[in-house]
Structure 1
């Protein structure tokens, strides 16, 4: 029962930030012509001002992000083309990641390395956990199953570690890079500063939900194995 309560609390914790982030992003996505410059143009301008002409910009259907491998700032169609507060703020946030990369910001560099192996490791962990009851049934040795379960939980926990490492990266991109850039280059209207801060907080908190989801996955499997 305690594990069920923990899982329910985690579900609420996961859903809460996600709903708030969606609400904030939607609220400031209109009017679409609030500024005279689009999100894509903001990204290009800031990159050029920073001397990062080698970093490209393009539209993506896979969500706003910076790709450190291909050195590309990718924005959703709306954030690339619209001139809304959301569009220019999110564009600046992703440029913040490009600046982190150029400066060798350690949390980003570590996360980039982790991303390459976390997904297959998590899949291995899930497979080990699913196989645990079968192994116990075949070998009749509970210790073998416990070892497999421990290994599975540890590998699933790798995702938690990666997402926790992502949090400082996101907040630095928002408040250590994006906000100063928007103000320095006179892109952001003074009246919108508080709203932009809320948007940048939402951009960073997107990964809080991902972190909690990874933790929820571990807790769910632990509850199953405790039965």
Structure 2
């Protein structure tokens, strides 16, 4: 019994831990910092001008949907990132501008998302379809329905999504630590004592998609058991 409890706790830590940590870090450093030279949106605009990305714009996004839109050439930032002065706002904005710079320079790492993200989306759609269609197909074909097997298939598809997100991780890491952090240091936009905190935020930015993919596996698993 103890073994099963420990296994359950380990699974919860693996699947939910990264997402909880990412959200905790981003929230932890959202405290207002009026001493900073500008908001995340203002920093993004400044960096785009400084690095001569004149065809890239900055726009508002839905909360938690910060990203660089390669097709539209738009850095989209959450309202709080766009308007607030905080370490999280500054780091997230610099991270997304880092993606824009990598794409502008046509770096190989900038193509990972374009190459692999559609695969992740396709696998997620397949998981959702199987989630709801399998019981119906079992009934229509008069095959025995096994919830455990159904769940294992869903988890397998979810793990494929995680592996795809891991393939994209170098692009996220590049945006955080080869672009954003050097830009913030070189421009002296932050006091030196804030750099370790910004490192944590940039790590959270890089891990966002992997953490989300891991959590989705358990969300998929819960549905057929209700």
Give the TM-score normalised by structure 2: 0.78
State the alpha-carbon separation in 1 of the partners of residues 166 and 40 from structure 2.
28
Q: 1:85 to 1:217 in 2, by over 3 A?
A: closer
Give the TM-score normalised by structure 1: 0.77
- Secondary structure of the corresponding residue to residue 57 of structure 1: strand
1:187 maps onto 2:189 in alignment: yes
- Secondary structure of the corresponding residue to residue 73 of structure 1: strand
State the alpha-carbon separation in 2 of the partners of residues 87 and 17 from structure 1.
20
Correspondence list, 1:3-152, <5 A: 9-63=10-64, 64-116=66-118, 118-128=120-130, 130-132=132-134, 135=137
RMSD: 3.3
1:90-142 Cα distance to aligned partner (Å, 9 max, x none): 11111111112123333441322433454344323442455445556665789
List runs of 5+ in structure 1 lacking aligned partners.
143-147
- Indicate the residue corresponding to 1:203 in structure 2: 205
Q: 1:60 to 1:130 in 2, by over 3 A?
A: closer
State the alpha-carbon separation in 2 of the partners of residues 176 and 56 from structure 1.
22
Bigger mean CA deviation after superposition, 101-110 or 153-162: 153-162
State the alpha-carbon separation in 2 of the partners of residues 26 and 60 from structure 1.
18
State the alpha-carbon separation in 2 of the partners of residues 17 and 154 from structure 1.
19
Q: 1:104 to 1:180 in 2, by over 3 A?
A: same
Q: 1:211 to 1:125 in 2, by over 3 A?
A: closer
Deviation at 1:83, TM superposition (A): 1.8
- Secondary structure of the corresponding residue to residue 162 of structure 2: helix
Aligned length: 218
Are the counterparts in 1 of residues 16 and 211 from structure 2 also a CA contact under 8 Å? yes
